[in-house]
Copies of this chain bind each other. A is one copy, B any other.
C-alpha cells in the first residue's frame, strides 16, 4: 500500500519511549471506524498482471473521464493489452505502458477521438476544501475519494504521484486510452487541464517507479528487450467473484478524514518540531486499504 504516511520518518530506530504527542496521520487512519471506509466497486478496479507475477492495481475515476474509461474497459475486454509492455520510464516524471509498436489495431467499438475530458463541471462534486494556497488552482480538496482541483466552475484531478493519465499526441488528439502513464516523481501539475486523467495506482506502484530509467529521448527504452512484459490487464469485475480483490477508501466526508487532513498539514507526532501549517493537495493522498475480511 503506497498511501500510508509514516512515523519517525528518518529515525533508523524508533525511540524506546516516545514523547506523548498528537497521533500521526497513519495512526488516525488506523483508528478510523469501519463506517468511514467505502468500498471501491469492482468495475472501477483495473488489474495489471506483469509477466513476472507482480500485480499493479488501478482505481478508475469514471466521474472525471467517462469516455476514455469506457474505451479502457473495452480494450481490456478485447484483451488489447495482453502481451503488451511498459516501454518508457523517465526519471522524476512518468512510467508509460501499452502497445510499444503503436501499430496494433484498436478493437471495434473504441471511440477513436474522445472528447477532451480534461475538466468536468464542479457541480455534482461535494468537495471538502483543503483550505491552503495552491499555485495551480483556485481551490483544492477531496470529493468521492479523489483529490480535486477547481477554478470554481470546472474541476479536475490533480497530477499527483501515482495518478494515471492517457498518453496523447499533439492536439486535437486526446488519446484513446490505449497508451497510459503514471506519475513517478514530483507532481507535474502543469499537465492539468491538458491531459485526461483516468485514475490512480492504489497498489503495486513499486513495479512502475523502481524500474531502470530509459536512456532514449523522453525515457523510452531503446531496446525491445528492455521493455517490461505485461501478461494481462483486466477489470476486476471480469473475474470470478472469489478472485476479485476488495479495496476501500477513507470517505472524505468522515470525521476521521477531517482529522487526517489536519494532521497531514500540522504534524505533531514526535519527530516534528514545527508543524507546517499547510499542505499541498498531493501531500494529502486519500487513504486506501484492503477491505478487512471481517468487514464482509
Contacts and interface: CB of A to CB of B under 8 A. Distances in A.
Contact of A186 (B132, B186, B213, B265): B186
A186 B185 contact: yes
Contacts of A133: 133-135
A103 to B, nearest CB: 11
A193 B278 CA distance: 13
A160 interface: yes
Interface residues of A, number: 76
B136 A194 contact: no
A294 interface: no
- How many copies of this protein are present in the complex? 2
B132 A135 contact: yes
A267 B190 contact: yes
B218 A8 contact: yes
Contact of A188 (B92, B168, B175, B283): B283
A86 interface: no
A153 interface: no
A211 interface: yes
A6 B270 contact: no
Contacts of A15: 169-170
Nearest to A281: B135
Interface string A155-175: 000001110010111110001
A246 interface: no
Contact of A92 (B161, B271, B276, B280): B161
Given A10-B94, A91-B209, 17 more contacts: A6-B90, A10-B165, A10-B181, A19-B170, A91-B205, A135-B265, A136-B276, A170-B271, A185-B186, A185-B209, A189-B280, A190-B276, A192-B276, A193-B273, A194-B274, A206-B213, A280-B280
